[in-house]
Copies of this chain bind each other. A is one copy, B any other.
Amino acid sequence: MKNVVFYHAGCSVCVDAEQKMLDLLDKKAVNLEVVHFGEAKERIAEAEKAGVKSVPALCVDDAVLHLNFGASMDDVKQSLGVDA
């Protein structure tokens, strides 16, 4: 199983990418977790450490795939009132 984390911030670009992308994944081969930063601010540091620069992003094991561009991590932190 591959561990995949979809990080997003709830914006329309994120939600759209989530729907398009997650439908395509092989649920039998992928251990998927969806993280909404608005509901889990404490995961922001982990995402940045993994290399997430913008949302929505898909982390596949140790690689990051940025999908389209919803917002930068700086914008996410600012809108959620999280210190850099």
Contact surface of A with B, Cβ cutoff 8 Å = 2, 4, 16-17, 20-21, 23-30, 60, 63-69
Copies in the complex: 2
Interface of A is mostly: strand
* Distance in Å: Cβ of A25 to nearest Cβ of chain B: 5
Residues on B with C-beta less than 8 A from A60 are: 20-21, 23-24
Sample of 29 A–B contacts (CB below 8 Å): A2-B23, A2-B24, A4-B24, A16-B63, A17-B65, A20-B60, A20-B63, A20-B65, A21-B65, A23-B29, A23-B60, A24-B24, A24-B25, A24-B26, A24-B29, A24-B30, A24-B60, A25-B25, A25-B26, A26-B26, A26-B27, A26-B28, A64-B68, A65-B67, A65-B68, A66-B67, A66-B68, A66-B69, A67-B67
